[in-house]
Structures are given as C-alpha cells and as structure tokens.
Amino acid sequence: MNKVHSTQVIGIASGKGGVGKTTVAANLAVSLAALGKRVMVFDADLGLANAQLALGCRAKYNFSHVLSGKKTVQEIIVEGPLGVQLVPGSSGIQRMASLSVVETAGIIQSFSEIEGNLDYLIVDLAAGLSDTVMTFLGACQHRFIIVKDDPSSIADAYATIKVMIQDYKLDNISIISNCMNSQAAGDRLYQGITSVIQRFLGGQVAHLGTIREDEMVLRSIKASKPLLQFSPSSAATRDFELLAKTVTKLTANASISGGLQFFLERLSRQDTTIK
C-alpha cells in the first residue's frame, strides 16, 4: 500500500501533578492498541520513569542515551503490552527544546526510522506551565488536559489552558475528566470549566471523556499489568475503551498536517521563539 501515512501526535498535560496523566497516557495507549492501532508512548516527564511502571515494562536505556549520542531512538525503545512501544524518558528531556541543529537532525533521523509504522505517538508530559511543556504541546497536534474534580486541579487546568490559548495560540485542546464518581459528574466538571473558558478566554475546548475512579488502576500497576488485561470489565477499563474509540474518531477527522518529523521539527524550531 502506498497510502501516505501520518502519525497523530497527542500531548497529555495537566496543571497539577498527580491527576492521572501517566495513567491516561498508558491506558489510552493500550486501549488504542486493542483496537488494532500501532501506538508509541514517549515519556517526556522528568526522570520519574512512571510510564514504565504504568505499562509494566522495564527499560535499560532512556532518552539521555539518545541525547548523548550513545544510542538511537530505535535502540532504547522497549515493548509493552499489546505491542505498545515506549520511549523511556530522562531528565535530559528538558534539553530537547534547546538542542543544536546537528543534534536535532540526528534525532529526527533516528525517529524517522519509526515513521510509517505508527498510528499514534502519545507524549506523557510533566505537570505545569514550563517552557519545555509548552514547547512539546506546541509541537503536538492534539492536546489533552487531564482534570480531577478538586478545586486546585480545576484552577491549575484553567491556568494552563489560559496560557496555551492566550500566550501560545494553541488550539485542538480537549479535556479528560479523571477520577470521577460517574460519567455525569465528568460532564458537569467539563461544563463548569468550559463555561469559564468561553466567558473569559473566548476559546473552545472539547470534552473527550470521563475516567471513573477505580481501585483497579492502582492494583494493576502493583501487578505490573495494564488495566485492560488485569481487570477487563472494571469501570475504568470500560471508560478507557470508550475514550480510545472517541480518540480514533477525533483523529480520523483531523485535517491538521502532522507526522513524527513534523513534531520534531516544530519541537526544535520553537526554542528561538519561546523563552
């Protein structure tokens, strides 16, 4: 088949830490893989290696080895459940936005070996509004903000979206409500946030879905298994399956130019404009 293939790049962010970014990145990846999609998770959080835990895999090398030129991206990738691939993170990720042209070219070259074999690259970001996070978000095609139903998570999500819209002129922003008691509660949380955004920022954010609070999430991590396999019929598993279907519809309609190379080129181009 010589259909032009383009990888959809999704950035997962939040205002506050500990709201479920890594949980969503990993379980959305596995749920997309269960739908037959080829998925890679890029752990761009700083040095926590949480994505490895959430996917139940162990990496010998990480992105610092790519940045130092010791390994190619291909060589550090580890395979997780259902063929989900993981690019393990490192604290060196911060440097991504300030690499030299030669360094960037090497990494782009390294990533381009993967292009064509991938439907989704899911980037698990650090919390907050740092330049690095915004640079990564600017390079993604879709931006998912995770929000929990507590006042500080809501306030921080709003602050993050404000900076994204006003300072960085980003669009394609969607909210995922996490740790909710019910789907309806997730809808209400979204309604509250979106009305404030419309009123004060004049922007639009979509609601992608709700993940319910589920003790199986933590238990599956302890068992080093993805939720989907550990507890196939639990509430959060069903929510992730629904979320994955919604994501495939969203990305099928996406008319935005994309691809892995595009992502990396934008990532490296932005360091001069954002400081």
Ligand X SMILES: Nc1ncnc2c1ncn2[C@@H]1O[C@H](COP(=O)(O)OP(=O)(O)O)[C@@H](O)[C@H]1O
Binding site for ligand X (CB under 6 A): 14, 17-23, 50, 178-179, 211, 213-214, 217-218, 221, 236
Helix axes 21-34, 235-252, angle to 10 degrees: 70
Instruction: Pick what 218 binds: ligand X, Mg ion, none; C-beta below 5 to 8 Å, kind-dependent.
Output: ligand X
Closest approach of ligand X to the CB of residue 74, in Å: 26
Q: Which is nearer to ligand X, 32 or 114 (CB)?
A: 32
- Token pair for residue 244? 């994955």
Instruction: Pick what 231 binds: Mg ion, ligand X, none; C-beta below 5 to 8 Å, kind-dependent.
Output: none
In three-state secondary structure terms, 11 is strand
Instruction: Pick what 211 binds: Mg ion, ligand X, none; C-beta below 5 to 8 Å, kind-dependent.
Output: ligand X
The amino acid that residue 134 corresponds to is M
Instruction: Pick what 260 binds: Mg ion, ligand X, none; C-beta below 5 to 8 Å, kind-dependent.
Output: none
Rounded to whole angstroms, how far apart are CA atoms 212 and 235?
A: 7
Which residues, in sequence order, are CB contacts of 29 under 8 Å at separation 6+? 39, 40, 41, 55, 80, 84, 120, 122
Positions in the binding site for Mg ion (CB under 5 A) = 21-22, 45, 50
CA distances from 230 to 24, 62, 120, 239, 260 (A): 16, 27, 23, 15, 31
Q: Which is nearer to ligand X, 23 or 85 (CB)?
A: 23
Closest approach of Mg ion to the CB of residue 214, in Å: 17
Instruction: Pick what 142 binds: ligand X, Mg ion, none; C-beta below 5 to 8 Å, kind-dependent.
Output: none
Closest approach of Mg ion to the CB of residue 268, in Å: 24
Q: Which is nearer to Mg ion, 71 or 143 (CB)?
A: 143
Instruction: Pick what 108 binds: ligand X, Mg ion, none; C-beta below 5 to 8 Å, kind-dependent.
Output: none
Q: Which is nearer to Mg ion, 22 or 160 (CB)?
A: 22
Give the residue ranges of DSSP H helices in 91-209: 101-112, 131-139, 151-162, 183-200
**Closest alpha carbon to 13 in 91, 162, 129, 148:** 129
Q: Which is nearer to ligand X, 48 or 201 (CB)?
A: 48
The residue with its CB nearest to Mg ion is 22
Closest approach of Mg ion to the CB of residue 35, in Å: 24
Q: Which is nearer to ligand X, 55 or 236 (CB)?
A: 236
Closest approach of Mg ion to the CB of residue 14, in Å: 9
For tokens 């933590």, the residue is 218
Which residues, in sequence order, are CB contacts of 246 under 8 Å at separation 6+? 208, 209
Burial of 60 (0-12, 13-18, 19+ CB in 10 A): exposed
Q: Which is nearer to ligand X, 108 or 221 (CB)?
A: 221
Closest approach of ligand X to the CB of residue 238, in Å: 12
The answer to whether 162 and 20 are in contact (CB under 8 A) is no
Closest approach of Mg ion to the CB of residue 112, in Å: 27
